[in-house]
Amino acid sequence: MHRANGPFLATAAAVGGVVLFLRGFKVWNERRLIQNTPRARIRSMAMGLVEIEGTVEPRSVLSAPFSGHECAYWQVDISTRTKDGWNIVHRNASHHPFYLRDDTGLALVYPEGSECKIGFGVEEVCNGPFLPECYSEYIKSEHLTVVSLMSVGQMRFRERVMQSGQAVFVLGSAMPRARAVSLSDDDAVAATGTDGPQNRIATADHEVTGVVRRGQNEPTFIISQESQLALTLELGFQAFAQLIGGPIISLFGLGWWLYALAAGRMGH
């Protein structure tokens, strides 16, 4: 550790290690919550914290902003390259509800506020300022002036989507469905006959057993393409690394300060 940067780096290590430990504790509690929440069938799920699995069915047919793929839900982020790695400067998501179906019934999932553990379908690094049209048009349509000014160096564009028929695991708060069917502008354009989008959504909404979303009392809300077992293993490794690594990093920083203070007293 360079002497001139020693105090700064030692302080950062001491504080960062504590933050890492606290994050590990949070991840461990999240893992225990997943393990301790019994799996429910959609038709018989109780209201409150619930764990369900099923296949995605779109309520609104959306186009992912980068790839243009049809999907039920999308998330994107844009990052710029710094000396410390990638720095995310913009995040966005569709937030449209989608259906989740198992062999017993149908649930309506509102994904806003969820921790989405789905792999990136699009991940591309581009050199500005001449970006591919799909990215430049998105920046323009979202009025991302600051992001546009950053497009002089390397930029990373990532997109994840949930498509019809994809199997997902959801841990969230279940609540009764609303009695009234509400159609957003994205859900229903003008429809005629009995097979239009309005009729299809009204029929599916009537079939819905309950709504799953981020709860007020229990904010844990996870949507994952991994199974419960794979997810708990991943979270276990992540928590273990943070719970062990955090104190080690903090002790390193504190040790440097103790050594520096002792050396200062000896110098006097």
Residue ranges covered by each domain of the chain? 23-249
Residue 84 is given by DSSP the state T
Q: Is residue 143 over pLDDT 60?
A: yes
For 64, counting Cβ atoms within 10 Å of its Cβ (0-12 exposed, 13-18 middle, 19+ buried), the class is buried
Residues 237, 112, 100, 70: is their CA dihedral positive or negative? negative
Give dist(CA 222, CA 114) in Å, integer.
5
How many residues are there in the chain? 268
Residue-wise over 225-260: b if at least 16 C-beta within 10 A, else e?
A: bbebeebbeebeebbeebbeebeebbeebeebeeee
CB atoms within 10 A of CB 1: 13
In this model, does residue 193 exceed pLDDT 50? Answer: no
> What is the DSSP secondary structure assignment for residue 143, as one 8-state letter?
T
Q: Residue 116: beta bridge partners?
A: 223
User: Distance (Å, rounded) from C-alpha 261 to C-alpha 268?
Assistant: 11
Query: What are the φ/ψ torsions at residue 111 (nearest 5 degrees)?
Result: -80, -5
**Range of 36-40, 123-127, 224-228 with top mean pLDDT:** 123-127
pLDDT tens for 37-76 read: 888 999 999 999 999 999 999 998 899 999 999 999 999 9
Q: What does the alpha-carbon distance between residue 112 and residue 177 come to, in Å, rounded to a whole number?
A: 17
Residue 178 has pLDDT above 80, yes or no: no
